[in-house]
Amino acid sequence: MIKVAPSILSANPANLMDDINKVQGADYLHVDVMDGSFVPNLSYGLNTVEGLAKSTNIKLDVHLMIQNPENYVEKFVKAGASIVGVHVESTQHIARAIQIIKNAGAQAEVVINPGTPLTALEELLPEVDQVLIMSVNPGFGGQKFLETSISKVKRLSALRQARGLEFDIEIDGGIGEQNVRAVYDAGVDVAVAGSYVFDAEDYSKQVQTLKDLTK
């Protein structure tokens, strides 16, 4: 069964905890952090992560879409992130960013954009707990799933097996009932779902549907 990480980018920011309390069955809460430079949008930051960590027991899966994340990762771990994701495209020092996350006591995740080949993160695979494959160009919720992501996940999953590694594969962007089975079969362990969960009436039912489809 797939793990589900609802993305609060699609929740109501003025009533965040109300929305979060309505979601049953989430394995993680996905928190998107954007700096208006790495991606053309702004979103949540350190203080939101800190507030959420005090208000919910769900593990926080923090996706950093910021330039030079190595300058901030330790602060996000201290704020209460369980998993911190850093983009290979966002820094010249991705290995250092990963090292800092692990030394600070959180799980480290490397993230790649749709246009970046898998070779960009091959050297990092033994160092990370999770790899996030972006299945949309990052910056906004509610975009269309890019089908090429499936072959990328399959190749990453084959690489994981061939090298005897144990990181989880997460996918982010355009996930819903139409493609969750396909990404699960390709090797995905964790599905981020923003608009699919929070644009619906019954958030918990949406999470359960994704799980039921991957039984």
Query: Known binder of ligand: residue 142?
Result: yes
Long-range contacts of 67-72 (CB under 8 A, 24+ apart): 67/35, 67/37, 67/38, 67/91, 69/97, 70/96, 70/97, 70/100, 72/46
Residues of span 10-69 touching ligand DX5 by CB under 6 A:
10, 30, 32, 63
Has 27 been annotated as catalytic? no
Confirm or deny that 167 is annotated as ligand binding: no
Hey, which residues between 118 and 137 contact ligand DX5 (CB under 6 A)? 136
Give yes or no for residue 85 binding ligand DX5 (CB under 6 A): no
Helix (H) or strand (E) holding 120: none
Minimum distance, C-beta of residue 138 to Zn ion, in the bound complex (Å): 7
Question: Starting from the edge strand earliest in sequence, which strands make up the sheet with 59-65, in order?
Answer: 3-6, 190-193, 168-172, 130-134, 107-112, 83-87, 59-65, 28-34
Residue 115 identity (one-letter amino acid): G
Burial environment of residue 193 by CB neighbours within 10 A (0 to 12, 13 to 18, 19 or more): buried
Q: 194: annotated binding-site residue?
A: yes
Exactly one of 35, 61, 129, 172 is catalytic; name it: 172
Question: How many C-beta atoms lie closer than 10 Å to residue 215's C-beta?
Answer: 8
Q: How many CB atoms lie within 10 A of CB 6?
A: 30
CB of 49 to ligand DX5, least distance (A): 14
Q: Check if 19 is active-site.
A: no
Q: Which 44-73 positions form the footprint of Zn ion (CB under 5 A)?
A: 63
Residue of the chain from 174, 186, 190, 206 that contacts ligand DX5 (CB under 6 A):
174
Q: Does 9 bind ligand DX5 (CB under 6 A)?
A: yes
Question: Which residues are known catalytic residues?
Answer: 32, 172
Annotated binding site for a divalent metal cation: 30, 32, 63, 172
Annotated binding site: 7, 30, 32, 63, 139-142, 172-174, 194-195
Q: Which residues would be at the binding site for Zn ion (CB under 5 A)?
A: 32, 63, 172
Q: Which residues would be at the binding site for ligand DX5 (CB under 6 A)?
A: 7, 9-10, 30, 32, 63, 136, 138-143, 172-175, 192-196
